[in-house]
Amino acid sequence: MTRTRHHHADGTPKFTNRLALESSPYLLQHAHNPVDWYPWGDEAFERARKEGRPVLLSIGYATCHWCHVMEEESFEDLEIAGFINHHYVPIKVDREQRPDVDAVYMNAVQTLTGGGGWPMTMWLTPDKKPFYGGTYFPSRDGDRGARMGFLSLLQRLYQVYRDQPDHVAEQASELSKAVAAQIAPEPGGAVPGVAVLHEAFRWFAGQYDPSLGGWGHAPKFPRPVSIEFLFHYGVRANEPKAIEMALHTLRMMGRGGMYDQLAGGFHRYSVDPHWLVPHFEKMLYDNAQLVIAYLEAFQLTGEKEFERIARETLDYVSREMTDSEGGFYSATDADSEGKEGKFFLWSKAEIFEHLGKENGEIFCEYYDVTERGNFEGHNILHIGIPLHEVAAKKGRSEAEALRSLEESRTKLYRIRKKRIPPLTDDKILTAWNGLMIGAFARGGFVLAEPKYIVQGKRAAEFVLERLMENGRLLRSCRRGKAQMNGFLDDYTFLIFGLLELFEASGEVRWLKEGIALQEYLLSHFWDEMNGGFFMTSRDHETLIAREKPYYDGAEPAGNSVAALNLLRLESFATEARYGEHARKVLQAMSRILENAPHVAPLLLTVLDYHYDLPKEILIVSSSTGALDNPLIDRLRKTYIPNRVIANTEEGQRQSDLGKIVPWSRNRTTEGKRAMAYVCEKQICSLPTSEPEVFSKQLAKIRPLENK
C-alpha cells in the first residue's frame, strides 16, 4: 500500500506527482499526495514565471515526525491540496540532499520568526526570493491553538501576492538581502587570541546543568563538538571542571532514554531535561560523533561504561544501518504504526511475560520499569539505579545481576525485532558516511577491534567508488543511483574519515585519497577574497545567497572540519600552505569567535590546535605488523588533545609513507622491537621501545597560556 490515504477500489493511489521519479525517500513519501509537487529545479520556477504564481516551498526529511504530521493534516487534505494546485507552484525539497537550499531558506525563516525547524514552509517569488515563511502550520484555524491555520494562510498570502505585487517584491528583496548578509560571516581580521577559549569555557560553565548534565533546559541536544572542545580545554588549561562537565553529560545521556538501552545508538534529542524522553528518530551523524566522544571519555578515564556505549553504538550501526555493499544509511524514523516511539516502548506486563518473574524483577528494577510507565502509559527504558544497588535489593552478586540483565536485553531485543519497525532512510550521504568512517576507524584503534577498521575501510571504498565522478564527489546514493554534486561537508567530513582511517590502519592509501580531495576542495570551494570555504563549488547552481558555514551545531560546520583537516595535513606533510589556509579560515571566522565563541566549539578546538605544538607520533614496527605491539597499546589508551599518528613497517610501506610524511623517513626498529618517535615540529624526543618511557613522552602536554 502506498503512503497516502487516497486509493482507488483496487488499492492503487488516486494521485501521483513528479516526485515518483525521484530517489529521495522523503520525496517519495510525498509522491502520492494530492498536492501536485515538483522537485527543486528550473521547470517549477519557469512555470511560476509564466503563470504569475507564487511558489510554495516545503523542506523536510524522511524521518521528521512533524513533517509526517503536516503531510497527514495538510498535504493529504483535498481542499488544501486543491487550493495549492490552483494558486501556487508547489516544490518539495529533501534538506539532506540539498543542504544549500535548506540553509538559505532556513536563514530566511529565522530572520522572519526568530526560530527554525522542519518542516520548513516558505513562500517565494518566481525568482526564488522569499517573502514569507515558517515551520509547521496546523491545517485549520484553531487547530492546536493556532489563530490562523495553513489553509487560511495560503489564501491570505496568495491574495497579498496578487493584489500587492510591489509590496511583495519589496519584502522579498529586503529579506533576500538580509539572508545574503547573514549566511556568511563578515570578513574578519587577525587570528583570535587564546582569550576566546577561556571565554567559551566560562560560557559553557555558566549554562551547564550540574545536576543532569548538558547545557540549558529542555529540549536537550547532544552536541558532541562541545564535548570535544571541553576535553581539549580541560587538559590543555588544566581545568578539571571542563572535563567533568563533559563526562557527567555523557554519563547522563548514556543512562537515559535518549540512548537505546536494548540495541545501542542514540536518538536525536531529549524533549525533557532528564535525558529521559527522546525524539525517537536516530541520525547517523549524531551516532558517529557520539562514538568519538565516548571513546575520548574512555581514554581519559578508563571507565568501562564509556567503552561499552561506544562499542554498542558501533555494533548497532553495523547491524542495522549498513548497506550490503558497505555504505551507511542516513536515519531511522521516530514513528512506527503511526505513533511516535511505539517501537521502543514496553509495559511492565510485557517484560514479565517474556522474562519471567526473577529476571523480570531485576530488569524492571534496573531500567525503572513501572506499572504506570513514564511515557503515555508505557516505559522508555533508562537506567534508574546503579547495578550494585539492584544486586543488593535482589540478593544477587553484581556478576549475577549483570548476567541476568545481558540475557534479558538480548531476549527483548529479539522480541522487539518482530515488531513493525520505524522507516529506515536508506539513502547514503557522503558527508555522514565520512563521519561514521572516522568513528569506526577511531573505534577500531582505541578499542583494539580490527573488525571496526575493516568496516570503515569497506565504507570508504564504497564512497570512493560509487560517489565519485571525474575526481569530484557526489552527495547522495540510493539503490545504486548516485546524484548531485558534493557540498563542502561531503568533502571535509570524508577527508576527516580518511585521515582517521589512515591513523588506525597505517595504510598510506587513505592519506593519499584525503590529500587529493583536499586539493579539489581548495581549488573549487575556497574564497580567494576573504578566506574560508563556501558551502557550494564555484560551478554550482546559483541561489539567492552563497553560504559560508560557521555554526557548529548538530553537525559541525564544514569550515571548522576543513580547518582541522588542514592543520592535521600540515602536521603530516609539513607543507606550510595547508596551515596557512587553516589560519585564513580562523581569520575569516574571527568575528564569530570573538563575539560568540560558543557557537563554534569545533572551531575553538581548531584554534587550540593552532596555539599548541601538536605531537607527531610515529611507530615503526618489524614486518610482524604494527597493530599488536605494546607501544600501540599505550597510545590507544592515551588521550592527547592535539596530535597526528603514523604507524608503519620497515620496508616498502615505510618508503611509501616517507614520500608524503617526511618525518617518517629513515626511522628504524630496535631489532625485532617496535620503536616510537614523538616529535613536535619535527623536533623529536629520544626514540624508545619502552612502553613506560613512551607513556611519559605522550603525557607531556603543553599548557594553554593566559588562563
CATH number, domain containing residue 131: 3.40.30.10
Instruction: Return d(Cα 434, Cα 439) in angstroms, integer.
Output: 9
CA dihedral 445, 446, 451, 456 (to 10 degrees): -60
Closest by alpha carbon to 431, among 498, 479, 481?
498
Instruction: Return d(Cα 24, Cα 107) in angstroms, integer.
Output: 23
How many domains are there within the chain? 3
In a domain, 204, yes or no: no
Domain match, 143 and 242 both: no
In a domain, 582, yes or no: no
Domain match, 284 and 369 both: yes
Tens of pLDDT, residues 427-445:
999 999 999 999 999 999 9
Grid cell listed for 309:
556505549
675 conformational bin, left if phi > 0, alpha if psi -120 to 50, beta if neither: beta
In a domain, 674, yes or no: yes
In a domain, 548, yes or no: no
Which runs of E-coded beta strand occur in 28-165? 38-39, 55-60, 89-94, 120-124, 130-134
State residue 628's pLDDT score. Answer: 63
Instruction: Answer with the one of 392, 425, 458 that is the final residue of a domain.
Output: 425
Q: CA distances (Å), 631 to each of 11, 185, 626, 674, 696, in order? A: 65, 44, 9, 7, 12
Instruction: Return d(Cα 96, Cα 183) in angstroms, integer.
Output: 18
Domain match, 274 and 388 both: yes
Backbone φ and ψ for 131, nearest 5 degrees, come out as: -125, -10
Instruction: Answer with the one of 425, 442, 467 that is the final residue of a domain.
Output: 425
Domain match, 255 and 340 both: yes
Instruction: Return d(Cα 377, Cα 180) in angstroms, integer.
Output: 48
Domain match, 90 and 178 both: yes
Mean pLDDT per 10-residue interval, the chain, length 707 residues:
83 93 94 97 97 97 93 96 98 96 95 92 97 95 90 96 95 93 86 97 97 93 96 97 98 98 97 95 97 98 98 98 97 91 96 96 97 96 95 93 96 97 96 98 97 98 96 94 96 98 96 98 96 96 94 96 98 96 97 95 98 96 67 96 94 90 90 91 91 96 83
Domain match, 283 and 152 both: no
Residues 6+ apart with CB under 8 A from 661: 511, 572, 573, 574, 646
State residue 250's pLDDT score. Answer: 98
307: helix, strand or coil: helix
In a domain, 569, yes or no: no
Instruction: Return d(Cα 313, Cα 450) in angstroms, integer.
Output: 16
Q: What does the radius of gyration of the chain's CA atoms come to, in whole angstroms?
A: 26
In a domain, 112, yes or no: yes
Look up the CATH number of the domain holding residue 622. 3.40.30
**Is the Cβ–Cβ distance between 599 and 229 less than 8 Å?**
no
Grid cell listed for 178:
538580509
Domain match, 175 and 226 both: no
**Is the Cβ–Cβ distance between 194 and 245 less than 8 Å?**
no
Q: Which domain holds residue 38?
A: 18-182
Domain match, 345 and 254 both: yes
Domain match, 37 and 92 both: yes
In a domain, 10, yes or no: no
Domain match, 618 and 677 both: yes
Is the pTM for the entire model greater than 0.85? yes
Instruction: Answer with the one of 125, 158, 182 that is the final residue of a domain.
Output: 182
Closest by alpha carbon to 517, among 545, 494, 541?
494
Burial 589-614 (b: 16+ CB within 10 A, else e): bbbbbeeebbbbbbbbbbbbbbbbeb
Closest by alpha carbon to 530, among 591, 487, 607?
591
Domain match, 159 and 230 both: no
Which residue has 530566511 as its cell numbers?
108
State residue 157's pLDDT score. Answer: 97
Domain match, 147 and 282 both: no
Residues 6+ apart with CB under 8 A from 683: none
